[in-house]
Amino acid sequence: MLNIAGFGRHVGALGAAPEDLRAQLLALGVSVRRVNRFIELALLGALRCRANGGDIGADAALYAAAETPMLNDCVKALRSTIAEQRPPTPFEFMNISGNMAGFYIAQQLGIGGPQLAVARRHGGLEAGFELLGISHRSHRRALLGCVDEGVWPLDEQRERLGLAADATLYESSHWFHIDADCATPLARVAALLPQAEYGAIETELRALPGGTRIALHPRLERDAPPLPATLERLPGHDLRGQGACAEALYRYLDSGAAGPWCHLSRGEDGLWSLLRAQPGAS
């Protein structure tokens, strides 16, 4: 399991017009040019993680996860190509062909370790934890984030995410500082590889200690699978679209990480994912 030494986030409800993220970065003493909204969100969350969790270290790895990375720029590029019959601008194309968020975060936080961009629909954070948990990884410290941006018009974004026409939308940037040598971690976290059959997940759930609290992805709240009676089901939260698992883990850590916890989700591909955590002192 991986030691969580710090955490931080930025979450914002989406209104008729985009929130000015550049002004918030300036308030934190950060001035960056020619960056897109995804990068701005990533920077805000990572800076707040450093403020909450202390020095991350120059040798740390950086894993930037997302469920729909660079979605704003992908939509712009498709509109220009299909609706406007013109090629994307070089800047638009650059933003969808590579994730520059890691570069700017590393620059601002002084991180020089390896970097990786990870994307999985309804499982970006879990994918990051899976990769960090692979035994041959040599880095002892890492910064793992999950970033999902808002896209306007909002009615199109709701349709894109399969949400109700009146659903409140959010954008989010959650970051977690992982340190294998942390003497007093806030919690210890591990992810189970995605499973095609719920039976494998149910076996894992039944093996958890009695009283373990379980958070469900909002997609499962109305039609939850059979859960062991030994688990305590947590209430849902407002992030109905993306970033649901990251928000659930953030709330667990922010509550003091008392007792074991897990988060269950199922992607549009039908695969089940389970993230589990326990207090750092366990």
Task: List, for residues 132-161, the tens digit of each pLDDT value.
Answer: 987 666 789 999 999 999 999 999 999 988
Pull the structure tokens for residue 262: 């897990």
CA distance 279 to 282: 6
Predicted pLDDT at 98: 61
CB 131 within 8 A of CB 63: yes
CA distance 144 to 75: 26
Closest of 144, 162, 168, 194 to residue 5, by C-alpha: 144
> Does position 97 have pLDDT exceeding 80, yes or no?
no
Pull the structure tokens for residue 282: 């366990």
pLDDT higher at 59 or 72: 59
Annotate 216-255 with b (16+ C-beta within 10 A) or e (fewer): bbbbbeeeeeeeeeebeebebeebbbbbbbbbbbbebbee
Q: Which domains does the chain have, with CATH numbers?
A: 2-179 (3.40.47.10), 187-279 (no CATH)
Q: Band of the pLDDT at 35, cuts 50, 70, 90?
A: confident
Q: Band of the pLDDT at 49, cuts 50, 70, 90?
A: very high
